[in-house]
Structure 1
Amino acid sequence: MATLEIDRVRKAYGSMEVLKEVSISIGSGDFLVLLGPSGCGKSTLLNMIAGLEDISGGEIRIDGDTVNDLSPKDRDIAMVFQSYALYPTMTVRQNIEFGMKIRGVPPAERKRATQEAAELLQMAHLLDRKPSQLSGGQRQRVAMGRALVRHPKLFLFDEPLSNLDAKLRVDMRTEIKRLHQRLGTTIVYVTHDQIEAMTLATRVAVMKDGIVQHLDEPQAVYDRPANVYVARFVGSPAMNIIPGRLEEGLSGPVLVLDQPDGGRSRIAGVAISEAARQTYAGQPVLVGIRPEGFSVEVSNQPSVQAAIEVVEPTGPDTLANFTLGGVEVIARLAPQTVRAGEVVQLGVETAKVVLFDPKTELRID
């Protein structure tokens, strides 16, 4: 286990800057997920931590030691790749042992470490098979086992589940989560899948265009996104971003949202600081509401009128589409509570409402 500090790290290819003074710090035993779309710089950052890419500026420290100029073999890290990278002519046992053999680890110790890793990953019965005889999930387990036997300070995962089908991805997520809980290892994990980020991470860094947009615990990123980009990227369906206006009511600030029929819905009771209240009173704001922030229960809470346009049953819940504030909005409701064509009142859980500045798109506190 180790701490990791990424201090104002930059990466440029000529005049093109890929990473722009990225700073992230995690403690020993943390599970950091670098989350973002293709091209945001997350894999480049992982490769820089591993020593596979040079650093244009800043420092990377593992357990307090600067590793900028160290080769990958001297950083005490282990990496699990998207492509498994197994030797096809070797058995599972030989694949796991190969790195230890190269480093001169005695045969008895290699055998013990391989057996321990295989039992931990529930693949002891696969040790004498070749990679061609394994499923995608089993091959990924072998790649993880090969990393485990090194007992490194830091584990790096580069989109390890992206080649697996949906069910295998869920199964392997559980395996990786279980592995982290058992070993308490420090992990940096790259993915574009926000479900993986939410389920695996202790810390999430949402990235865009080489900049960390939000770094926090997964639930904090979900509940209180730093800006509109994070709000829309994290969550499925994404947070609804609805144009509105903040006005003063008799008992405090009130959000006013336009209805398609020309009417208005008024939402009172939204938490906002006194400073923000004075700044934005009478001004346009962007209103962020997660789909589950709506409900068919309207007692003791503000509500909006919803002319339901489309209903999408998913089994455990129903996604209902309607228009509010001039944009399409999605509500996650209990099954069979609304039908397409109905006009209903939907309650709004004001504790889950987040406001954003329409110009900067930053969260208003």
Structure 2
Amino acid sequence: MGKLEINRVQKSYGQAKVLKEVNISLEEGGFLVLLGPSGCGKSTLLNMIAGLEDISAGEIRIAGETVNDRSPKDRDIAMVFQSYALYPTMTVRQNIEFGMKIRKIPSKERSAAIEAAAEMLQMTDLLDRKPSQLSGGQRQRVAMGRAIVRNPKLFLFDEPLSNLDAKLRVDMRTEIKRLHKRLGTTIVYVTHDQIEAMTLATQVAVMKDGIVQHLGVPQEVYDRPANVYVAKFVGSPAMNIIPGKLVDSEAGATVAFTLPNGKVGRVSGIALSDEARRRYQDKPVLVGIRPEHFTPTKGEGINVGIDVLEPTGPDTLAVFSLGGVEVIARLEPFATAVGEQLCLAVKTDKVVLFDPETENRLN
């Protein structure tokens, strides 16, 4: 295992800056997910860790050693690619064994490592098959087995599940999580899928335009996103971002919204520092509320008219207007209809406020 340190790392292609001073520290045995859309720089950063891309500025350290100028083979890493990259004419056993043969590991050690990896990944009965005889999920297990037998300081995964169907993705997520628990390995994992990030990671780095927008444990990233971009990117449906106004209240901060009928709705008891309350008093703010943090109530709440209902089975998505924008609430199945009025309470301890200009979190 090895600690990973990324210090002030930059990457440029001519005048174009792809990565803009990235700083990340991953403890030994940690699982870091680089999360973001295509073009955000996550795969470039992974390739720089692997030694497949040069570093324009900064430093990358693995297990305390600077690896900027080391070739990929000298970094003690193993990489699992999106495309599996298996040799089609070799059996599963031969594919797993190939790298060990190149490194001149004795035959007895190779056999023991193959058997251990195959048992761990539940593919002992596949060792004599060729890749063409395997499903996509089985091929990805072979690619993982080939990485495991190297016993590296650092595992790198480059969107390994993107070619699989939905059911296989869920199964393989479980396999990867189980693998991490058994081996205690340090892993860096690239994906654009926020479900993979939330379920696998010990740390998530949400990226946009070559900048890490938020680095933290998954629940922190979900509950207290650093800015509006992170709030909207993580979560499905995304966090609602509603224009409002901070007004006076004795019981914590209160925000006011404009309702479709022209009246004003209020949510009180929001945690906010005294400094932020003074600075934003009677000023516009953006109010972040997750869909699941609305609850139907017969007491005090916000009265809204339902525009759309989307039953999903375990819950119902209710769409309505608040603060001049479309808002989604995730509610337990209930008897109502489009056009009816619904009174909704908000879990105020989960509300997040943002500056409307910088879009950074206030509280």
TM-score bucket of the superposed structures, by smaller chain: over 0.9
- Aligned partner of 1:238 in structure 2 is 238
The one-letter amino acid of 1:286's match is L
- Check conservation: 1:296, 1:337, Cα contact below 8 A: no
Deviation at 1:306, TM superposition (A): 1.6
CA distance in 2, matches of 1:298, 1:234: 31
Alpha carbons 2:252, 2:271 under 8 Å: kept:
no
2: CA distance, partners of 1:124 / 1:329 = 50
Given the alignment of the two structures, is residue 137 of structure 1 paired with residue 153 of structure 2, yes or no? no
Inter-partner Cα distance in structure 1 for 2:140 and 2:32: 20
**What is residue 317 of structure 1 aligned with on the other side?**
315
Question: 1 CA distance for matches of 2:125 and 2:235?
Answer: 38
Indicate the residue corresponding to 1:181 in structure 2. 181
Q: Structure 1, residues 98-123: CA drift from partner, whole Å, max 9, x if none?
A: 00001101111101100000000000
Match of 1:360, SS state, is: coil
Task: Report the aligned-residue RMSD.
Answer: 0.9
Q: Which residue of 1 aligns with 2:44?
A: 44
Q: Output the amino acid matched with 2:221.
A: V
Per the alignment, residue 106 of structure 2 pairs with: 106
Whichever residue aligns with residue 273 of structure 2, its letter is S
CA contact (8 A) 1:11 1:19 kept: yes
Is contact 1:8-1:23 (8 Å) kept?
yes
Deviates more, 1:33-42 or 1:307-316: 307-316
Tell me, in whole angstroms, the C-alpha distance in 1 between the residues paired with 2:46 and 2:213.
Answer: 17
Q: Distance in 2 between matches of 1:234 and 1:200?
A: 14
The answer to whether structure 1 residue 330 and structure 2 residue 315 are counterparts is no
Distance in 2 between residues matched to 1:107 and 1:248, nearest whole Å: 75
Three-state SS of the structure 2 residue aligned to 1:212 is strand
**Secondary structure of the residue that 1:73 maps to in structure 2?**
helix
Matched letter for residue 287 of structure 2: V
Aligned ranges 1:198-217 → 2 under 5 Å: 198-217=198-217
Instruction: Tell me what 2:271 maps to.
Output: 271
Alpha-carbon distance, 1:64 to partner: 1.0
**1:233-312 mapped onto 2 (5 Å cutoff):** 233-297=233-297, 299=299, 303-312=301-310
Q: Which residue of structure 2 lines up, in the alignment, with residue 346 of structure 1?
A: 344
Deviation at 1:305, TM superposition (A): 1.2
Specify the code of the residue in structure 1 equivalent to 2:358: T
User: Aligned AA for 2:330?
Assistant: R
Give the secondary structure class of the aligned counterpart of 1:287.
strand
Following superposition, the deviation at residue 251 of structure 1 comes to: 4.1
Name the structure 1 match of 2:95: 95
2:27 maps to 27
| Letter in structure 2 aligned against 1:133 | Q
**4+ aligned runs moved over 3 Å, structure 1:** none
Kindly tell me: are residues 185 and 337 of structure 1, through their superposed partners in 2, closer, same or farther at Cα, counting changes over 3 Å? farther
Q: CA deviation at 1:335?
A: 1.1
Counterpart-to-counterpart distance in 1, 2:41 and 2:281: 38
Secondary structure of the residue that 2:73 maps to in structure 1?
helix
Count matched residues: 363
Q: Separation in 1 of the partners of 2:339 and 2:264?
A: 20
Cα distance in 2, alignment partners of residues 100 and 304 from structure 1: 64
Deviation at 1:297?
A: 3.3
Q: Which amino acid aligns with 1:339?
A: A
The alignment partner of 1:364 has SS state of: coil
1:122-168: CA deviation from partner (whole Å, max 9, x where unpaired): 00000000000000000000000000000000000000000000000
Alpha-carbon offset, residue 298 of structure 1 = 5.1
Unaligned runs of 5+ in 2: none
**Does residue 355 of structure 1 match 2:335?**
no
